[in-house]
Amino acid sequence: MGFWEEAQALSPYLSALREEFHRHPEVSRQEFWTAERIETELDTIGITDHRRVDETGVYAVFHGEQPGDRVITLRCDIDALAIQDEKREVPYCSQIPGRMHACGHDAHTAGLLGGAKLLFAHKAEFGGEVRLFFQQAEEIGYGGRVFVKEGLLAGSGRVFGVHMASDLAVGTVGVKPGPNNASVDHFTITVTGKAAHVSTPHLGVDALYIASQIVVALQALVTRRTSPVEPLLIGVGMLHSGTAYNIVAEEAVLEGTIRACSVETRAQAKAELDALCEETARLYGGTAAVVWEDFASPLINDPGACREVGAVVTDLLGPQALVTDRPLSLGGDDFAEFLLTVPGCYAYVGSASPDKPDTQRAHHNNRFDIDEGALAVTAALHAEYATRYLTGKIG
């Protein structure tokens, strides 16, 4: 049997793993049970060389038995979200109140364990090294940088990962070179003015008014400062200001995000937002300070790696399975940090079925679910792509 047939035979195992993770979701940097369960499963498979990465990530490695010095890294994310699971009627509904795998990371984890199981069983057929990243805290843009900082990608020739896609039918896989996801930057703008009675506004500096001007003016950075064909989004989700209806506000705090799909546009937008806030506040007598949190870089797939993965999809599932025109997403994913270091591909595995309405819901929805047929696809992709790369058939 080939890897696709073997992965299909593993379907009960993959579903059981995924449902176990779904019942026990843990949010970013709290994935202690999840990490322990991953380690237990790796030991059962026979992959005993593993360790923790910053408490809740898991790094594992094993080698093929043939000559070869190539290295490939396979990654999944393992964290859940602070969402209440409303799928009360299914046996794998979350058992943790207010916590849910609403983005498919449970499926990513089960799929990578399945791929590792297949690869380890066939290690006599290839040489080189397989590295497994069970990465924590993707949802807050944290875990990817930790793995990179520890040097765990050093020497790797390829990095590969998958994400469930509720906009694609099960049995299909989205593989697109170039930009796939936007960068994610979070900003907090603190505007400082001077309190006064509303009847004497000239004696104060209205931080709320300044903040309102900033909210409106920020959109000019999108419409007038960048090319209309270059994706850029600036959104303000929170504005807090004032202490009473008849007092000129002394302070205003705004929080929002910038999403960009190129390194250059991202840098330009951040610099211009800083300048706009400072100048707008100065114009009306106040000051503004901007604090940035960098959650994820733009996710830009390597064209060569995408050709390799596309060929694997076609060979495993047929040419109809390969989707090359999946729309660009302004959501982020810190798999992007690995692509800054090593050529690779992030593929989107279709997880939707018309017979299962919850599988067609948007990610982060409180009834999000997957068609578990996506698990065999994920496991087979990991195993086949890694084997082809390590044996020199691609790359």
What pLDDT digit, counting tens, does each position of 46-94 carry?
A: 999 999 999 999 999 999 999 999 999 999 999 999 999 999 999 999 9
Integer Cα distance of 340 and 97 in angstroms: 37
Integer Cα distance of 116 and 120 in angstroms: 6
Domain count of the fold of the chain:
2
Residue that terminates a domain, selected from 296, 331, 361: 296
State whether 157 and 29 are in the same domain.
Answer: yes
Backbone angles phi, psi at 252, to 5 degrees: -140, 140
CB 203 within 8 A of CB 144: no
State whether 259 and 165 are in the same domain.
Answer: no
Backbone angles phi, psi at 104, to 5 degrees: 90, 10
State whether 168 and 57 are in the same domain.
Answer: yes
395 domain-assigned:
no
330 domain-assigned:
yes
State whether 133 and 19 are in the same domain.
Answer: yes
- The range of the structural domain enclosing residue 204 comes to 184-296
Q: How open is the CA angle 231-232-237, to the nearest 5 degrees?
A: 140
Q: What is the pLDDT along the chain (395 residues), one digit of tens a residue?
A: 799 999 999 999 999 999 999 999 999 999 999 999 999 999 999 999 999 999 999 999 999 999 999 999 999 999 999 999 999 999 999 999 999 999 999 999 999 999 999 999 999 999 999 999 999 999 999 999 999 999 999 999 999 999 999 999 999 999 999 999 999 999 999 999 999 999 999 999 999 999 999 999 999 999 999 999 999 999 999 999 999 999 999 999 999 999 999 999 999 999 999 999 999 999 999 999 999 999 999 999 999 999 999 999 999 999 999 999 999 999 999 999 999 999 999 999 999 999 999 999 999 999 999 999 999 999 999 999 999 999 999 99
370 domain-assigned:
yes
Alpha-helical (H) ranges within the chain are 3-9, 11-23, 32-45, 105-121, 143-149, 207-223, 263-283, 303-317, 336-339, 373-390
| DSSP state, residue 331 | S
Distance (Å) of CA 224 to CA 54, 149, 228: 43, 37, 8
State whether 339 and 196 are in the same domain.
Answer: no
135 domain-assigned:
yes
State whether 195 and 259 are in the same domain.
Answer: yes
252: its two tokens: 């205003």
251 domain-assigned:
yes
CATH of the domain at 98: 3.40.630.10
Taking each helix axis from N to C terminus, what angle separates 373-390 and 105-121, rounded to the nearest 10 degrees? Answer: 50
State whether 205 and 280 are in the same domain.
Answer: yes
98 domain-assigned:
yes
State whether 129 and 38 are in the same domain.
Answer: yes
80 domain-assigned:
yes
Residue that terminates a domain, selected from 296, 317, 348: 296
Q: Find, among 61, 70, 210, 197, the residue nearest to 126 by Cα.
A: 70
State whether 191 and 255 are in the same domain.
Answer: yes
State whether 250 and 376 are in the same domain.
Answer: no
What is the chain's alpha carbon radius of gyration, rounded to the nearest angstrom? 24
CATH of the domain at 257: 3.30.70.360
226: its two tokens: 């960048």
State whether 177 and 189 are in the same domain.
Answer: no
Residue that terminates a domain, selected from 264, 296, 328: 296
126 domain-assigned:
yes
State whether 64 and 107 are in the same domain.
Answer: yes
